[in-house]
Amino acid sequence: MPGFEIFGEEEKKEILEVLETGVLFRYEFPNERKGVYKVRTFEEKFAAYCGVRHGQAVTSGTAALKVAMAALGIGPGDEVITQGFTFVATWEAILDIGAIAVFAEVDETLNLDPAELEKKITAKTRLIIPVHMMGAAARIEEIKVIADRHGIPVLEDTAQAAGASLHGRRLGSFGVCGTFSFDPVKTMTTGEGGMIVTNDEKLMRDMSEYHDHGHDHAVNPGGRGGEGRSFIGFNYRMMELQGAIGLAQLAKLDGIVAAQQENKKAMKALVAKLPGVSFRTILDEQGDNASFLAFFLPDKEQAQTVKKALAENGAGAISFAENTWHYYPKWEHLLAGATLARSGWPFVEPGGKKRVVYDAQVLPKSAAIMDRLLVYPVPIKLSDERLGQIAAAVDKAVAALS
């Protein structure tokens, strides 16, 4: 990761096909566009790749979450459960739609712990969003069983796991829908962009209409201006240039994953030299998109020692426990209930009553895991020189531990 490492002639060719028509809009202009429908084709191909019937392209992975939740009818009064290790977008979308985000613990998959999920389910729970963090599966099969037993739909936040699967089935295809991001640092990228995949016809129709101001996209004599609408929507449309880049990147996705798996193996062999090291639980090694190598030291102190030695020797690893974007206790703006709305929404009701208070201490199991965690992003292109640098840094870390 990320996909821009291998931008090339394929992306250029796709983009030029769009520029030659002059049509950047995904709808209309039937004569000018000469049969070129990049976003629509990208939707079809990406959905097929995921083994799912429909794809709805949108402007970002955050928009994908929002559009999917809108179409699922989520709003004020509802609770949505997700995990305390994710990118801020997951809960931003939940709060933005008016629901309350409820955070559950992760286990050593670094994804939602099914047993802990069950403890968070209440009469108000309307949706569960497991996140397939860092390219590898959450315990989605177990999560589905629990969700089904309670009659609650599952939306998979698959933003970080394009190209990944579990037991032969693509991530994003287990729940009622799966959302993807193609932002600049994702496994495949269109600069900005996102997609929702689903087999649900009604959900697909509602997402298609909602993401485009309510346009019903029904053929009629008045063209786009004559289209009907059955509910209010918004604009989350993807443009043709993004669709074009998406097509080129999708064609490279399996190659990206294969290269990362190879590189991850080489990096893992080096990291394995650290005394006491263990690795993230990967439920299906073959299905891992291998965009990250995540490893644990026996305790926080040793993790800090290793982190320091690696950084000082030019091969720094990420500590997500200290990262402000991905880990619950570090989301100070969420914990503080900071919002631009003068009313205090979504943390405060219009009448002044608090809707929710987020306490930094509520996820002790996650904290115990995250404090011991270090992570290397896995590049698509890994030079011998870089590998040698990591090897040397690991040797220094081994020395620092003894």
- Select from 153-161, 272-280, 315-323, 363-371 the region that touches ligand PLP (CB under 6 A): 153-161
How far apart are CB 70 and ligand PLP at their closest, in Å? 15
How far apart are CB 184 and ligand PLP at their closest, in Å? 8
376 binds ligand PLP (CB under 6 A): no
Query: H helices within 85-167, ranges in order?
Result: 89-96, 114-120, 140-150
Give the span between the Cα atoms of 105 and 112, in whole angstroms: 6
Number of residue whose CB is nearest ligand PLP = 61
- Select from 4-12, 81-89, 288-296, 315-323 the region that touches ligand PLP (CB under 6 A): 81-89
Give the span between the Cα atoms of 268 and 111, in whole angstroms: 20
Q: Quick check: 81 and 87 in contact, CB under 8 A?
A: no
The residue from 79, 116, 157, 206 that contacts ligand PLP (CB under 6 A) is 157
Report phi then psi at 370, rounded to 5: -65, -30
Interaction residues for ligand PLP, span 42-71 (CB under 6 A): 60-62
Q: Cα dihedral sign for 190, 195, 197, 201?
A: negative
Distances (CA, A) of 6 to 139, 246, 252, 270: 31, 13, 9, 25
How far apart are CB 185 and ligand PLP at their closest, in Å? 7
Give the span between the Cα atoms of 124 and 356, in whole angstroms: 14
Q: Cα dihedral sign for 31, 36, 39, 44?
A: positive
160 binds ligand PLP (CB under 6 A): yes
- Select from 35-43, 85-93, 122-130, 237-245 the region that touches ligand PLP (CB under 6 A): 85-93
How far apart are CB 87 and ligand PLP at their closest, in Å? 4
Residues 246-285 vs ligand PLP: string with x where CB under 6 A? ----------------------------------------
How far apart are CB 133 and ligand PLP at their closest, in Å? 6
Q: 163's torsion region: left (phi>0), alpha (psi -120 to 50) or beta? A: left
Single-letter amino acid, residue 195:
M
Q: How many residues sit close enough to ligand PLP to count as binding (CB under 6 A)?
A: 14
Distances (CA, A) of 389 to 266, 312, 377: 13, 11, 15
Interaction residues for ligand PLP, span 183-242 (CB under 6 A): 183, 194
The residue from 159, 207, 248, 293 that contacts ligand PLP (CB under 6 A) is 159
**Partners of 80 in beta bridges:** 101, 127
How many degrees, rounded to 5, is the angle at CA 249 between CA 245 and CA 254? 170
Nearer to ligand PLP, 178 or 302 (CB): 178
The residue from 49, 85, 87, 236 that contacts ligand PLP (CB under 6 A) is 87
90 binds ligand PLP (CB under 6 A): yes
Distances (CA, A) of 66 to 40, 82, 183, 196, 329: 20, 14, 16, 10, 23
CB proximity list for 394: less than 8 A, separation 6 or greater:
270, 271, 273, 274, 310, 315
Nearer to ligand PLP, 227 or 288 (CB): 288
Cis previous bond, 76, omega within 30: no
131 binds ligand PLP (CB under 6 A): yes
164 binds ligand PLP (CB under 6 A): no
The residue from 57, 70, 80, 89 that contacts ligand PLP (CB under 6 A) is 89
How far apart are CB 11 and ligand PLP at their closest, in Å? 18
Give the span between the Cα atoms of 10 and 302, in whole angstroms: 45
Nearer to ligand PLP, 61 or 84 (CB): 61
How far apart are CB 139 and ligand PLP at their closest, in Å? 16
136 binds ligand PLP (CB under 6 A): no
Q: Give me the residues that bind ligand PLP (CB under 6 A), please.
A: 60-62, 86-87, 89-90, 131, 157, 159-160, 181, 183, 194
